[in-house]
Amino acid sequence: TARVCPFAGILENGAVRYTTFEYPNTINFSCNTGFYLNGANSAKCTEEGQWSPGVPVCAPITCPPPSVPMFATLRVYKPSAGNNSFYQDTAVFECLPQHAMFGNDTITCTTHGNWTKLPECREVKCPFPLRPDNGFVNYPAKPVLYYKDKATFGCHDGYSLDGPEEVECTKLGNWSAMPSCKASCKVPVKKATVVYQGERVKIQEKFKNGMLHGDKVSFFCKNKEKKCSYTEDAQCIDGTLEIPKCFKEHSSLAFWKTDASDVKPC
Ligand SMILES: *[C@@H]1O[C@H](CO)[C@@H](O)[C@H](O)[C@H]1NC(C)=O
Ligand SMILES: *[C@@H]1O[C@H](CO)[C@@H](O)[C@H](O)[C@H]1NC(C)=O
Ligand SMILES: *[C@@H]1O[C@H](CO)[C@@H](O)[C@H](O)[C@H]1NC(C)=O
Ligand SMILES: *[C@@H]1O[C@H](CO)[C@@H](O)[C@H](O)[C@H]1NC(C)=O
Ligand SMILES: *[C@@H]1O[C@H](CO)[C@@H](O)[C@H](O)[C@H]1NC(C)=O
């Protein structure tokens, strides 16, 4: 009868594929993810009734402590396997001030026992932001402006900001936006009911200090044939508000005329 080798049907953190443990069969080993085979991936039952080579073990995959990129610090790192890390453990980097990160801040211990690609930290400078026409800009009083520094913009009277008030030095070395100052509009009609942000308002009251650049209102116009009213939009663009041609302003003496805004909509 054939020699029988020792039972080898169980491999901790792995699996064994076999038919029987008799001479001259071969059995195969594999490990679960997160473990590597410390030994050969197959063994043969010899004439002497011994496994050759010997039965392996599945050992946990570990990564050595990660190297830290230049201008970076480890923000999150906790070795879980003595001084090393287990498979799928993570570590998180942070760049020094004035430096921006390129790549992923999080690295992961891979099945190869190394870490995923390290990010890079580079010093990033932004040029001084230019003062907008008819406005001003404030930024930190420093010889050089760096990544994440902020600048704030404002406009002189009669102008309003087109863009955000605050901008930030981005990692590309430019400002997140460059707002400009646009002229406000004088309301060119004495009296009109208009729709502003979904509400009917008296233009002369709502905008007695002028309309800001970008403000949009809808004027009421009459359709004479059908005796109904419709609206047309007008927007203040850098000091100019074009009144829709269909809008007719009534003289305050023409009290017998019905304002378009009081006529039923078309
Ligand atoms: C072990 O692996 C070898 C090579 O892949 C294959 O030929 C053999 O059938 C496998 N044996 C078992 C018992 O799965
Ligand atoms: C961790 O590293 C330190 C310094 O290199 C060493 O003294 C210590 O024995 C290591 N610990 C383990 C568990 O490997
Ligand atoms: C960074 O890596 C982590 C872990 O590998 C991943 O979950 C995340 O989506 C990555 N982030 C980016 C921005 O690629
Ligand atoms: C990790 O090791 C594998 C296998 O040696 C290699 O292909 C891969 O490039 C390495 N990854 C990194 C980020 O160095
Ligand atoms: C900043 O510079 C990048 C690359 O030159 C460009 O693609 C991007 O549009 C710029 N961003 C702004 C807000 O100007």
- Domain holding 150: CATH number? 2.10.70.10
Q: What are phi and psi of 260, to 5 degrees?
A: -55, -30
pLDDT digits 0-9 by tens, 12-69: 999 999 999 999 999 999 999 999 999 999 999 999 999 999 999 999 999 999 999 9
Residue 110 near residue 116 (C-beta atoms within 8 A): yes
CB 60 within 8 A of CB 15: no
What number of other Cβ atoms are within 10 A of residue 35's Cβ? Answer: 19
From 174, 175, 176, 180, mutation site for ligand 5 pocket: most ligand atoms within 8 A of C-beta:
174
Residue 3 has pLDDT above 90, yes or no: yes
H/E element, 203: helix 203-206
Tell me, in angstroms, the distance from the centre of ligand 3 to residue 164's CA: 30
User: 41 in helix, strand or coil?
Assistant: coil
Is 237 inside any structural domain?
A: yes
Could you tell me the pTM of the whole model?
A: 0.75
Percent of the chain topping pLDDT 90: 92
Best mutation site among 63, 92, 94, 106 for ligand 3, i.e. most ligand atoms within 8 A of its Cβ? 106
Q: Are residues 163 and 208 in the same domain?
A: no
What long-range pairs does 24-30 form, CB within 8 A, spacing at least 24?
27/51, 29/55, 29/56
CA angle at residue 33 from 107 to 8, to 5 degrees? 150
Q: How confident is the model at residue 254 (pLDDT cuts 50, 70, 90)?
A: low
* Burial (Cβ within 10 Å: 0-12, 13-18, ≥19) of residue 99: buried
Q: Please give the distance, rounded to the nearest whole angstrom, from the Cα atom of residue 67 to the centre of ligand 4.
A: 14
* Residue 106 belongs to some domain of the structure: yes
Q: Which atom of ligand 1 is nearest to the CA of 27?
A: 13
User: How many Å lie between the centroid of ligand 3 and the Cα of residue 76?
Assistant: 15
Cβ of 117 less than 6 Å from ligand 4: yes
For the chain, give the number of residues: 266
Domain count within the chain = 4
Please give the pLDDT value at position 256. Answer: 72
Closest-CA residue to 147 (of 166, 123, 121): 123
Ligand 3 within 6 A of 118 CB?
Answer: no
In a domain, 2, yes or no: no
Distance (Å, rounded) from C-alpha 84 to C-alpha 113?
A: 10
Alpha carbon nearest to ligand 1 atom 3, residue:
28
Q: Is the peptide bond before 24 cis (omega within 30 degrees of 0)?
A: yes
Q: Are residues 67 and 110 in the same domain?
A: yes
For 40, the domain range is 14-60
